[in-house]
Structure 1
């Protein structure tokens, strides 16, 4: 893999063996690089931006029209990632919420997150091939930033973005490849979403930013993109306005990520859907899932990827560099 100009597509064609990494590749601990609003233009022309948006588009295409129950390849490396996430998930049991006066932001989350950060190196050493252990100091930072902020005890699209970048890095180092695309979304990412929902409920985490202003709901965005792709060209939830019906939500929440998101929102919020989730309510009027999917990708680029309060926290290293993208 050419560390200077490789793309997700290049990596997907590589053999799963980590020997395809050049011996002279220098991994870097990721750092923040967008320090002001004017730096957003650098980010939007960067290799990291192209890699990240290309990665989302590639997986978006891979799962189009497929339910979660579809038969997909589950490689050993996918299984190892799921095992790692199970361990992280199970740690929540070790740090129950503490009694405290404030309603939101239970401080036990900090203890859980500290525990996760203490063990991520070991977890990744257990999961990754020995030849790519040298990448761990770079990729582990994205994993550690995926679950929320320990100081503010909040969670938002920036943390979600960090996990997608973590997945992207796993492709860049050839740990995952094209054959893993469906399982990456349906198994790994879906498992991650279930963990962060559990964190949100257990520790009553605040939405990051201005009460979820950078998202479709209080916390997530990418599940709506990939989830709407699943619903393209299938008749079960058509026209899209049917996703608002309680019976449809209950029936398909385990089959489609988008419906799982709607089910979660309705379980957490009371009152008219049009009031507490106005953007999603508006989306329901769009005539096709294909248009919804493309519209959500455009909205994500505009409302998340071009917002300084989100991008100021993004980390850049050798795998997702801030340098300008060159064709």
Structure 2
């Protein structure tokens, strides 16, 4: 296992990233059998960078509401605009009449448009000197919304979006001061988009859903959302299952937004359809919930071969040993 990761995102003065001389690559999968690829992955620079990014974002939103006045840099604004554009495309490809209940084939048409336009969308939001990165970064964007063949979506796709955001830090167009807005504005907008995709096209959960699953599709909003709730005077872990709490506060806290969404799409007692979350409601405080979820993410997402076998490695997120 790699050394303990610290909260870190590339700082402008530390990155020393030379955009002019850097050779970008089209990301590809790292082929290898399960017993070998996971230890190699856990010792890689990509693993260290992604975990460091997740922890840095986690720290940036501690005790912060979604409605907080965050610094809205041009890149943050452009990222939100990009997600709004993708959301608007859903209306162009309404679900088709088909015999099976799940996996509506119209998703493939939406996805085709994403594939065809991803590179240009990223080029359009970057200054000229950064445009050469668009081909590499666009791969992570395309990977962020589900599988075109299986019409499913899961934590591996969500992880690809985290990688997509990290790439903008790596090349220097996002900076440390953007962290709060990257989670509360950009990632939250992404969350609304993927929920729209899931509901419109009846997307199936990707991969096997064991007893560890928080919900069918997401994980990161529970980590960052629990950080938002640290120190909240009224909302405690035991109260997030109460309808008056998640209905009232869902707009300001991602964790509660997830609970509200789960209750909209699932029926029956919460303790039965979301047992792991029900167990979390028994944890005494949000600090413990947050640290526990980080450990769970490392064990149940980042250390799982079905997730890592699909992850793409390029020049910005590499399988080289961490330095």
Structure-1-length-normalised TM-score: 0.94
Which stretches of structure 1, 4 residues or longer, exceed 6 Å deviation after superposition?
Answer: none
**Corresponding residue for 2:29?**
32
Equivalent residue runs for 1:128-139 within 5 Å: 128-139=126-137
In 2, Cα distance between equivalents of 1:303 and 1:108? 31
| Cα shift readout 1:248-285 (whole Å, capped 9, x = no counterpart) | 01100001000000000000000000100000000000
**Corresponding residue for 1:243?**
240
- Does the 8 A contact of 2:9 with 2:176 survive in 1? no
Quote how far apart the aligned CAs of 1:212 are.
6.7
Q: 3-state SS of the aligned residue for 1:117?
A: helix
Q: Which of these residues, 106, 122, 125, is aligned with residue 124 of structure 1?
A: 122
**Corresponding residue for 2:251?**
254
**Corresponding residue for 2:276?**
279
Q: 3-state SS of the aligned residue for 1:192?
A: helix
**Corresponding residue for 1:75?**
73
**Corresponding residue for 1:204?**
202
Quote how far apart the aligned CAs of 1:34 are.
4.6
Equivalent residue runs for 1:227-242 within 5 Å: 227-238=225-236, 240-242=237-239
**Corresponding residue for 1:171?**
169
Return 49-58 or 31-40, whichever deviates more. Answer: 31-40
Quote how far apart the aligned CAs of 1:13 are.
3.2
Q: 3-state SS of the aligned residue for 1:210?
A: coil
**Corresponding residue for 1:3?**
none
In 1, Cα distance between equivalents of 2:244 and 2:171? 43
Q: 3-state SS of the aligned residue for 1:241?
A: helix
1:265 matched to 2:246: no
Q: Which of these residues, 302, 306, 320, is aligned with residue 303 of structure 2?
A: 306
Equivalent residue pairs, number: 317
**Corresponding residue for 2:186?**
188
In 1, Cα distance between equivalents of 2:158 and 2:44? 20
RMSD: 1.7
Equivalent residue runs for 1:281-296 within 5 Å: 281-296=278-293
| Cα shift readout 1:36-95 (whole Å, capped 9, x = no counterpart) | 112100000000000000000001001001111111110111111111111111000000
Distance 1:137 1:190, change over 3 A: same
In 1, Cα distance between equivalents of 2:17 and 2:292? 37
Equivalent residue runs for 1:131-170 within 5 Å: 131-170=129-168
1:13 matched to 2:16: no
In 1, Cα distance between equivalents of 2:192 and 2:169? 22
In 1, Cα distance between equivalents of 2:10 and 2:264? 40
| Cα shift readout 1:146-176 (whole Å, capped 9, x = no counterpart) | 0000000000000000000000001001111
Return 208-217 or 85-94, whichever deviates more. Answer: 208-217
In 1, Cα distance between equivalents of 2:162 and 2:85? 19
- Does the 8 A contact of 1:145 with 1:162 survive in 2? yes
In 1, Cα distance between equivalents of 2:232 and 2:7? 28
Quote how far apart the aligned CAs of 1:317 are.
0.7
In 2, Cα distance between equivalents of 1:221 and 1:211? 12
| Cα shift readout 1:115-155 (whole Å, capped 9, x = no counterpart) | 11111111111111110111111100000000000000000
In 2, Cα distance between equivalents of 1:140 and 1:96? 25
